[in-house]
Amino acid sequence: MTQHSNTELKPHVGLDEAGIAEVLQALQEQPEALDALLTPLHPADIADVLESLPRADRRVLLEHIDQEHVGDILAELNDGVREDLLAEMTPREVAQAVEELESDDKADIVQELEGDQQKAVLRILRDKDSKKLATYDPETAGGLMQAEVFAARRTSTVGDVLKQIRKDSGDLPENIGTIFVTTSKNELVGTVSIPRLVKQPLRAKLEDVMREDPLKFTPEAPQKDVVDVFEKYDMHNCAVVDDKNRLLGRITIDDVLDVVLEDREREAYRAAGLDETEDLFAPLHETAWHRFPWLVLNLFTAILASIVIAFFDDAIAQLVALAVLMPIVASMGGNAATQTLTVTVRALSAKQINSKNAWYLLRKEVLVGSLNGLLLALGLAAITGVFYNNWSLAGVILAATVANHLFAALAGYLIPILLKKLGKDPAISAGVLVTTVTDVGGFFVFLGLGAYFLL
């Protein structure tokens, strides 16, 4: 969670494309107007503007920004743009900027720095919390955690805690939400929400009013589990403890929301072989180079399909209709497989597939695939028969389409399950595999049947 140092800054809702364009125009044409435009903006809005700027312009804009807001803005930027800006800052500038941030935001930024810069910044900061937090894998509960928690002993009274909140001069997390109740050895034993606390008699001990046995994570817990638990049980705060149940920190729901939004972005990007941290305004060659490997991978899968076609070049030379129709059969199989794959990947992720229903679901996918395959095949065969006035060709395309749909259902269902068993994330790697298999399969079965029955 980000707390902004200057409470006067109000969210500036509605900095839309036009608002951003206005800032860009000022930047190019009358930089002296920039201050007036930027001053009322929330750091998150300034981050949006920075992300919409070519790299050189970002540095110009940064010079117009109040030093005390740079940390908040860095915390809001996406990774690619942040990296670009951090690379230009001295360790002292970075340390100054992040000093007032919360431990989790600070740790995220420190984690992104290059080796030497990182060491230098940590030396200046002398901040044990962020140093420790920066060592956790960002994809785990530890990576999501912040060290700022409000913990109180089980023997404290409600009155003690309220007094502590009243006396606080800014050390407590602004959004306390939940008080974590601990033993004298800092072991977590319960939680009390602030509204619940207010309702209790002042002399009551926390151990008598707390909810016992709260949910908690160890730092190693995968991020996905954290998201699932927050969603499922409508939690707002959750403790992170070490293997001896000692309180290390907490995870707040706003950080979980950020993680889910980033994940969504990442899924969309990865499906097209892109890096979600990529800066829209990265230099040409950098962008091209990042996109290249996935294109090469796909080139090889396309060549694989072509090798199958080349195998039947005599058949094609004799009956060109085979070449005309073969992409239809292959692409239909790919589409059906994508549907099965999507359903299977989501069901796996929701833990809906288990030993008791795996066979039922396989049978269902195969039947759905065959049924739709048959309907589409009948339509396609009719069109082919009429167009070419060749009903043997129509028969071949009918058989090939049904066979490829069956094959597509099997591939779309079994490949993600197999990948999961092998410990891979099917959401990322299954797509290319499944479409390659149905492409190759589609060409092979159609051209094979054609060569066998029509020539």
Q: Which of positions 280-309 make contact with a second copy (CB under 8 A)?
A: 280, 284-285, 287-288, 291-292, 294-296, 298-299, 302-303, 305-306, 309
Shortest approach of a second copy to residue 184 CB, angstroms? 25
Q: ∠412-416-422 over CA atoms, to 5°?
A: 150
Short-list 58, 114, 4, 281, CA closest to 94: 114
| Residue 195 makes contact with a second copy by CB under 8 A | yes
The DSSP result for 340-377, as a single string, is: HHHHHHHHHHTT---TTTHHHHHHHHHHHHHHHHHHHH
* Contact call for residues 121 and 150 (beta carbons, < 8 A): no
Q: Which of 87, 268, 382, 386 binds a second copy (CB under 8 A)?
A: 268
Shortest approach of a second copy to residue 187 CB, angstroms? 19
Q: Which of 38, 76, 77, 113 binds a second copy (CB under 8 A)?
A: 76
Neighbours of 271 (CB within 10 A): 13
Which amino acid is located at 375 in the chain? L
Short-list 191, 170, 195, CA closest to 241: 191
| Residue 335 makes contact with a second copy by CB under 8 A | yes
| Residue 313 makes contact with a second copy by CB under 8 A | yes
| Residue 31 makes contact with a second copy by CB under 8 A | no
> Rounded distance, CA 152 to CA 191, Å?
10
Q: Which of 39, 60, 208, 317 binds a second copy (CB under 8 A)?
A: 317
Of all helices (H) and strands (E), which one includes residue 41? none
| Residue 34 makes contact with a second copy by CB under 8 A | no
Stretch of 33-41, 49-57, 89-97, 121-129 lying at the interface with a second copy (CB under 8 A) = 49-57
Shortest approach of a second copy to residue 341 CB, angstroms? 8
Shortest approach of a second copy to residue 318 CB, angstroms? 9
Q: Which of 77, 85, 101, 316 binds a second copy (CB under 8 A)?
A: 316
| Residue 264 makes contact with a second copy by CB under 8 A | yes
Shortest approach of a second copy to residue 393 CB, angstroms? 13
| Strands, E assignment, 139-297 | 151-153, 178-182, 188-193, 211-212, 216-217, 237-241, 247-252
| Residue 376 makes contact with a second copy by CB under 8 A | yes
Tokens in use for 63? 């010079």
Tokens in use for 42? 């929330």
Report 224-243 residues binding a second copy (CB under 8 A): 227, 229-236
Residues paired with 237 in a beta bridge: 252
Q: How far from chain centre, in Å, is Cα 104?
A: 18
Shortest approach of a second copy to residue 328 CB, angstroms? 4
Report 351-370 residues binding a second copy (CB under 8 A): 351-357, 360-361, 364, 367-368
| Residue 393 makes contact with a second copy by CB under 8 A | no
Residue with tokens 């540095």: 59
What strands, in cross-sheet order, belong to the sheet with 247-252?
216-217, 237-241, 247-252
| Residue 341 makes contact with a second copy by CB under 8 A | yes
Q: Which of 188, 256, 362, 419 binds a second copy (CB under 8 A)?
A: 256
| Residue 25 makes contact with a second copy by CB under 8 A | yes
Q: Which of 87, 128, 222, 271 binds a second copy (CB under 8 A)?
A: 271
115-120: long-range pairs with CB below 8 Å, 24+: 117/86, 117/91, 120/91
| Residue 383 makes contact with a second copy by CB under 8 A | yes
Neighbours of 54 (CB within 10 A): 11
* Contact call for residues 35 and 26 (beta carbons, < 8 A): no
| Residue 336 makes contact with a second copy by CB under 8 A | yes
Residues paired with 240 in a beta bridge: 217, 249
Nearer to a second copy, 135 or 382 (CB): 382
Nearer to a second copy, 12 or 132 (CB): 12
Report 139-168 residues binding a second copy (CB under 8 A): 162, 165-166, 168
Shortest approach of a second copy to residue 132 CB, angstroms? 23
| Residue 338 makes contact with a second copy by CB under 8 A | yes
Q: What is the largest CA-CA distance in the chain?
A: 95
